[in-house]
Structure 1
Amino acid sequence: MKTSLLQKILAQEDLNFLLTNRVPRIALTRFMGWYSQIRSPLLARLSIAVWRCFTDLDLSESPPQRYGSLHDCFTRPIRPEARPVDADPDGLCSPSDAIVGACGAVEGTRVFQAKGYPYELAELFGPNQDTTPFHDGVFVTLRLTSAMYHRFHAPQDLSVEHVTYLSGDTWNVNPIALQRVEKLFCRNERAVLNTRLARTGEPIAIVPVAAILVASLRLHFLDTLLHVRYRGPNEIPVQASFRKGEEMGWFQHGSTIIVFAPRGWTLCEGIANGARIRMGQPLLRPAVPPAR
């Protein structure tokens, strides 16, 4: 696609980091939360036009509509046929559209956000969570850009048993920031979704991580909207079940989802740093196929 002048400018790493991180991040995020909710089709059209200057925004997969606010565009649905869900009942599909970031084996309790930048599972999950099931397991980091489809879905038939919400900062989560800010994911606002697979009973953790301009995280099984002003409770018991591919929630802007599976799982073919993936495509599979 044709690259705009703004995109070329933002490709300069030092300038990109300065413009997207050395700014009042939380204040800008709160402002975006307010601004995006303004109900004005004209303002929405103008805002979308500006947005297109920075990204390759494609609205063709969404049902034709007149957006009443920028929020409506951020959280737009897409036609179901645009995202077929992998039919393998034993595998995990991608919960979202994304660019794959760091992925692979959890080294004991250590995970990498980028080469040379490790963090501990306990630092990401919070002090009250037992991370033992994911020691020596496998993980995949999925980065949603601002132009992508922002809703996320169940990677397999599962039940959500608990949510831990951790308030935090809103650093940008692009590769430039991940190579400069130590333990970035552990600093940012995030929610840890503890789930259990219906077929095997194995635990799977889904961790949506917010970023600059991400003004809210909507989980369909919670009445509370999670955002930078929310202060608790941090531990939220949940009883909710989802079928594979069923929508679980959305970000109000682009951000990151990290998926953790226990030992015995492996990356699907083609899942590697930098790969582009769509919701529903194969993500993780059992290293040894289960007996039928």
Structure 2
Amino acid sequence: MRKLISALTEQEDMNFLLTNRIPRAMLTRFMGWFGKIEQPLIRDLSIACWRLFSDLDLSEARKSSFKSLHDCFTRELLPGSRLPDPDPAIVVSPCDAIVGAFGKVADTELFQIKGAPYSLPDLLGDPALVEAHRNGRFITLRLTSSMYHRFHAPHDCRIDRVTFIHGDVWNVNPIALKRVERLFCKNERAVLQARLITGETLTLVPVAAILVASIRLHFIDATLNARTRGPTVFSCDASARKGDELGWFEHGSTIIVLASDEFDFCDNVVESARLKAGQPLMRRVAGDRMAGTQNRI
């Protein structure tokens, strides 16, 4: 048993070393450039290597050929591949993901992995938004590199504001989450503040990671990444129906979903479960009020 524990520890040490103790920002910029090369041989070899070392499945992709590695990363799916749960009381997963830490926010404290807390003020940087989610619910959705990288509206909503916060690009896998304190508060991230049709605030926090070149949103004419200059707070008034595409990562990463205490988690939400965009995530406890206002947007 001791030998097994020692071997696992050594594997974790090596993983952490290879994915974090390197020039993270420089490698991320390089991958942003390399992924967009449209030379056929480079494209084909890159995608072949990706498939060899991951569980990449392109059977749902809208097209069968891609211009570049980047084009494959940000692929669209066949129409109808991610239909959202129609129950108006249900908030659905915004993305394909593996469920990480989730639960009740303890005043303003939540955790990235068991025993590793962080705070809403550090994550969001907005006192009013912190108050909206005090003692609320949180869930961490981790996208692996082979997953579908686009994310969608978890319910009918209006997006009032987007704040981009500059930061690092640590890996966001479970090994790094155990070793880097407040990792989500250190990495680059966008805070998408949305309001549901019933008035509750629902916040999505897409968090960048190593090799993530940028975050793109359909309703903002800007690429959000380390080279973003000028305003980093974008006021907007974008409406979205449940399941509408909001934007995409240009590699795998994480989305943290924050809701009020009027929501609870659906039965299919368990740690390490795999979810697809549109599947149930949270249910409003007083669902009848939501149903009665479904058509306000």
TM-score normalised per structure 1:
0.93
C-alpha contact 2:165 2:232 (8 A) present in aligned 1 = yes
Structure 2 segments unaligned to the other structure (5+ residues): 1-7, 293-297
Deviation at 1:176, TM superposition (A): 0.5
The aligned counterpart of 2:5 is: none
The aligned counterpart of 2:283 is: 285
**Match of 1:73, as an amino acid?**
C
| Alignment RMSD | 1.7
The aligned counterpart of 1:79 is: 78
What is the number of residues matched between the two proteins? Answer: 284
Q: Matches of 2:67 and 2:255 in 1, distance apart?
A: 27
The aligned counterpart of 1:204 is: 202
The aligned counterpart of 1:3 is: none
**Match of 1:113, as an amino acid?**
Q
Residue by residue over 1:94-147, the C-alpha shift from the partner in whole angstroms, topping out at 9 and shown as x without a partner, is 000000000010011001000111111010002565310100000110000000
**Match of 1:257, as an amino acid?**
I
The aligned counterpart of 1:43 is: 42
The aligned counterpart of 2:221 is: 223
The aligned counterpart of 2:16 is: 17
Q: Matches of 2:102 and 2:225 in 1, distance apart?
A: 27
C-alpha contact 2:88 2:287 (8 A) present in aligned 1 = no
CA distance 1:168–1:129, change in 2 (3 Å): farther
SS at match of 1:141: strand
The aligned counterpart of 1:195 is: 194
SS at match of 1:76: coil
| 2:179 matches 1:180 | yes
Alignment of 1:1-292 (within 5 A): 12-127=11-126, 130-198=129-197, 200-291=198-289
SS at match of 1:23: coil
CA distance 1:105–1:113, change in 2 (3 Å): same
SS at match of 2:236: strand
Residue by residue over 1:170-224, the C-alpha shift from the partner in whole angstroms, topping out at 9 and shown as x without a partner, is 00000110011000000000000000012x0111000000000000100000000
User: Sequence identity, in percent?
Assistant: 56
Q: Matches of 1:28 and 1:192 in 2, distance apart?
A: 24
C-alpha contact 1:45 1:67 (8 A) present in aligned 2 = no
Q: Matches of 1:52 and 1:43 in 2, distance apart?
A: 14
The aligned counterpart of 2:295 is: none
TM-score normalised per structure 2:
0.92
Structure 1 segments unaligned to the other structure (5+ residues): 1-8
Residue by residue over 1:59-97, the C-alpha shift from the partner in whole angstroms, topping out at 9 and shown as x without a partner, is 111123321111100000011222221011121000000
Deviation at 1:234, TM superposition (A): 1.9
CA distance 1:101–1:232, change in 2 (3 Å): farther
Deviation at 1:287, TM superposition (A): 2.2
Q: Matches of 1:134 and 1:232 in 2, distance apart?
A: 28
